[in-house]
Structure 1
Amino acid sequence: MVVGAGISGASIAHHLARQGVSVVVIEQAPQPAAGATGRSGGMVRAYDPDPVIGDLALASLATYRDPGCWASGRAPLHAVGAVTAADPAQEPTLRQAAGQLNDALRTSAHVVTECDQVAGIHLAGGVALVEPEAGWVAPAEVTADWLVQARADGAVVCHGLRVHAVQADGGRPLVRTDAGTISAGAVVAAVGPWAADPTPGLRPASPVRSRSIQVSVVERRPPAPPHATFVDLRTGWYAKPVGADRTLIGMPHLVWDSPVDSPPDPTHAQATVAALTAHFPWLTTAAHLHTVRAADAYHPPGRGGQASELLEGTDVPHVWSVRAWNGGGVKTAPEAGRRIADACVADAFSDAA
């Protein structure tokens, strides 16, 4: 059983079903990708300062670029490019990373220095790693594609069904739901920010907190240029194009233990526009279209999100919680889902009679 039909849960279910495992996906919302996944910016690039995330992201970018991996027959990646800005002291690290990416993916990643603008983005004094073959995906579309494939391979996907508790029964999980009790060989909880307030039996070994995410979408009018996706490692500011004439902008919203459905914070929205203007000067006259707020699962401050384990155990045997991705779930989901599925299969059936 996979609890949660966001992008991570859908990837895990797809890879499990592809291996011939009998899979049931339980989602409390009426449709998949209804939580943090559906409100994610969906930016995809191979580089990340965390080597664990970077390893997963590199393999995931290859999957997002490959039409053969998708039920739709087309790759979901919008290859507008990706620009990762950093402090000039990070130039050697970025150059090394560019070489590694190009060796692995046969791409044209490169580092720019002493350059005012690249790919429609003002660098504001930093250096930048440019990945021309990266970009963004629509997380809800990716999630739906994986669930289509999972169903085709025999998985059952249940929407609008809530899990109330998970307990041990003869060494295996017993899952209590709105529709009755289900005996499972193993359970994987991919519930995002809901891991911070878990259903009994799904509490991960390490503490998880929810942290607010808030983004705004603005209209990009001529003469504003098209641009790549953008992340500034110095500040945490980010942006991505949304179609031909819109841009999504965001910056850290350091509100912890925030409910997923909290109302938008107008002060933060205004501050986001003011901050990103250094990189996109045309924002001073851009029309604001809407602001969306959600939450994501985070390790608490001090842990750093460096844990290499993709799954954490719970108090119930053969029940695991997917690690908190600290906002990086979309760019790691293809490869993380594959590895988690392999780990689940190896553990769940290791002592089967």
Structure 2
Amino acid sequence: MRGTGAGGRERARVSAAGTGARPAGGDLPGRADVVVVGAGITGAAVAHHLARRGASVLVLEQAPRPGTGATGPSGGMVRAYDPDPDVAELAVPSLAVYRRTEGWASGRSPLHAAGAVTVADPAQDAALREAAARINGRLGTSAHVVARRPEAAGIHLAGGIALVEPEAGWVAPAEVAADWLEQAAGDGATVRCGVRVRAAEARGGRPVVVTDAGEVLAGSVVSAVGPWAADPVPGLRPRSPVRARSIQVSIVERRPSVPPHATFVDLRTGLYAKPAGPGRTLIGMPHLVWDSPLDARPDPEHARATARALTAHLPWLPTAPHLTTVRAADAYGPSAGLLETTGVPHVWSVRGWNGAGVKTAPEAGRRIAEAVVTAARSAAA
């Protein structure tokens, strides 16, 4: 693994395009310490941390630009609290990263600090208060529980209580991915979009990544393809099953007379919403369609049902103009661990995040990079 610094930055393989990634027209390097398959938010985080550690990194993305798969339509809500302790362990330091202004190529924090409201059953009062104290102890924030009140941060609680995190909010996931890839390229990584990976094969004890633009001999391979892991190319299939589950969100107009509101999720129902820029709100409800095509058309009835259900939390919704509906998918799989083996030596698949990929990406990317570097050093010893 090479060193970083000014020399590494001079070797960056990027164009001046805003995405920071070159199309498939250029030749691929014949070798790389690590090939990262997938330029969504998690793959970008992994590539950033690997390049920062001195690895020669090649990022391959089948789409024309980064962040256009599951990352693109993601709601991007980030908060420190999660009822899954494994996710919460990653979400707390990830929120700290999102809040910082330093460490970003843009020179500013990507976080829109609209606040976050997690609605739960009143029986969870003690658990939420304990979580708020733990979050505040680690981040120095002002998380608190709201009980016996009808509303918190512009969200009607509909009989529930709420853990409110004023310092949380949302990010634009594709912009975050592009920022990390720009930094990775500055540290010498090569980013190629429009390149389809056909297979990962073991040859002489090391993996070879076979693409439609050539072959690359890799020290290690990290597959971060999200819901595409449910039906991956040969050699990238994780040992534990990953399934794609449909997600569908709508954007509605928030008129000037409507007060601002925080991001929120109701743990009792799975309903969620977030500000989506000036005068717009994203709304969502679980869409329990498994193994559906990743390019499936939006479901109009589900969109209407989502607006009806969320009226309990956002009473202004019935008169809000509907702007658009987007359908995509999340990757669901076992909750333990960060990486899954694939059966090909030195090839790993990132776990399915069960909808939590954006809120965990900063810390998950750091830990995955650390694990890959440690494994490479052990193999070389």
Q: Deviations over 1:192-240 (max 9, x none)?
A: 0000001000010100100001000000113211000000000000000
Aligned mates of 1:140, 1:222 — CA distance in 2: 27
Deviates more, 1:152-161 or 1:252-261: 252-261
Structure 1 residue 41 and structure 2 residue 41: aligned?
Answer: no
Aligned residue in 2 for 1:279: 313
**Correspondence list, 1:278-297, <5 A:** 278-297=312-331
Q: Which SS does the other structure have where 2:108 is aligned?
A: coil
Aligned residue in 2 for 1:321: 349
**Correspondence list, 1:161-310, <5 A:** 161-299=195-333, 305-307=334-336, 309-310=337-338
Aligned residue in 2 for 1:334: 362
**Alignment gaps of 5+ in structure 2:** 1-34
Aligned mates of 2:254, 2:284 — CA distance in 1: 15
Deviating beyond 3 angstroms after TM superposition, the runs of 4 or more aligned structure 1 residues are none
Q: Which SS does the other structure have where 2:368 is aligned?
A: helix
C-alpha displacement at 1:296, in angstroms?
Answer: 1.1
Structure 1 residue 113 and structure 2 residue 147: aligned?
Answer: yes
Q: Deviations over 1:137-193 (max 9, x none)?
A: 000100000000000000000000010011101111011101111110000000000
Aligned match of 1:24 in 46, 58, 63? 58
C-alpha displacement at 1:348, in angstroms?
Answer: 2.2
TM-score by length of 1: 0.97
Q: Which SS does the other structure have where 1:187 is aligned?
A: strand
**Correspondence list, 1:88-103, <5 A:** 88-103=122-137
Q: Which SS does the other structure have where 1:69 is aligned?
A: coil
Q: Which SS does the other structure have where 1:14 is aligned?
A: helix
Aligned match of 1:144 in 171, 178, 189? 178
CA contact (8 A) 2:206 2:217 kept: yes
Q: Which SS does the other structure have where 2:145 is aligned?
A: strand
C-alpha displacement at 1:260, in angstroms?
Answer: 1.7
**Alignment gaps of 5+ in structure 1:** 300-304
Aligned mates of 2:166, 2:103 — CA distance in 1: 21
Aligned mates of 1:213, 1:116 — CA distance in 2: 29
2:335 counterpart letter in structure 1 = Q
C-alpha displacement at 1:123, in angstroms?
Answer: 0.2
Aligned residue in 1 for 2:41: 7
CA contact (8 A) 2:250 2:325 kept: yes
Aligned mates of 1:118, 1:34 — CA distance in 2: 33
C-alpha displacement at 1:351, in angstroms?
Answer: 1.6
Q: Which SS does the other structure have where 1:281 is aligned?
A: coil
Structure 1 residue 345 and structure 2 residue 379: aligned?
Answer: no
Aligned mates of 1:323, 1:259 — CA distance in 2: 20
C-alpha displacement at 1:243, in angstroms?
Answer: 1.4
C-alpha displacement at 1:350, in angstroms?
Answer: 1.4
C-alpha displacement at 1:244, in angstroms?
Answer: 2.1
Aligned match of 1:56 in 78, 90, 95? 90
Superposed CA RMSD:
0.7
CA contact (8 A) 1:35 1:260 kept: no
Aligned residue in 2 for 1:126: 160
Aligned mates of 1:253, 1:186 — CA distance in 2: 36
Q: Which SS does the other structure have where 1:34 is aligned?
A: coil
CA contact (8 A) 2:38 2:60 kept: yes
CA contact (8 A) 1:215 1:291 kept: yes
Aligned mates of 1:6, 1:349 — CA distance in 2: 27
Aligned residue in 1 for 2:193: 159
Aligned mates of 1:103, 1:211 — CA distance in 2: 35
TM-score by length of 2: 0.90
Instruction: State percent identity of aligned pairs.
Output: 72
CA contact (8 A) 1:168 1:317 kept: yes
C-alpha displacement at 1:349, in angstroms?
Answer: 2.9
C-alpha displacement at 1:306, in angstroms?
Answer: 3.1
1:255 counterpart letter in structure 2 = V
1:312 counterpart letter in structure 2 = E
Q: Deviations over 1:238-281 (max 9, x none)?
A: 00001121000000000000122111000100000000000001
